Amino acid sequence: MIVDRTALIGRPLRPATYTVSEVDVNDFLGVVAEPEFASTDGSETCAEAALGRLAPPSFAPFVAVLGLLRTFDWQKDFLFDYRTGTAMFGEQSIEFHRPLVVGESVAISAAISDVYEKQGKQTFDVIEVTFDIKSRDEGGLLMSGQQSYILFK
């Protein structure tokens, strides 16, 4: 069955939340070396340092991926049955607006920004999703960006 996913362009996805937990950050730091990372910047006036321990910058893509997976249903939003098809994570770009703080709760909003077909050894669709991740407490933008998902037919 041929599925035309171009009608999905512009579809907002459901909002999601994620809390930056001490356990997740510690688990992450257990497998990712961050030798230059300091959990505060040493400034007494830094709002992030005043709130608590900062998560390393390399943790932000983890939050983006995990958060975005909570914003969609493969079948309902992408017209894709992952049990019989193959899906892959594509490219990702993130613009950072401020560091994440351990214990901070974030709100993720996303929408399908583009869908296009490509041909390799087989035909596949690429679904591009744009997102904003904001602090649930202060509402400030933490990061924004784009991720793509590759769906093999």
Sign of the alpha-carbon torsion through 120, 121, 123, 126: negative
CB 30 within 8 A of CB 22: no
Confidence category of residue 53, pLDDT binned at 50, 70, 90 = confident
Confidence (pTM) = 0.83
Q: What tens digit of pLDDT does each residue of 6-49 get?
A: 999 999 999 999 999 989 888 888 787 776 665 654 544 444 44
Which stretch of DSSP H or E encloses residue 142? strand 141-152
* Cα 80 to Cα 146: distance, rounded to the nearest angstrom: 20
Q: What tens digit of pLDDT does each residue of 78-137 get?
A: 999 988 899 999 999 999 999 999 999 999 999 999 999 999 899 999 999 999 999 998
**Domains by residue range for the chain, with CATH:** 5-152 (3.10.129.10)
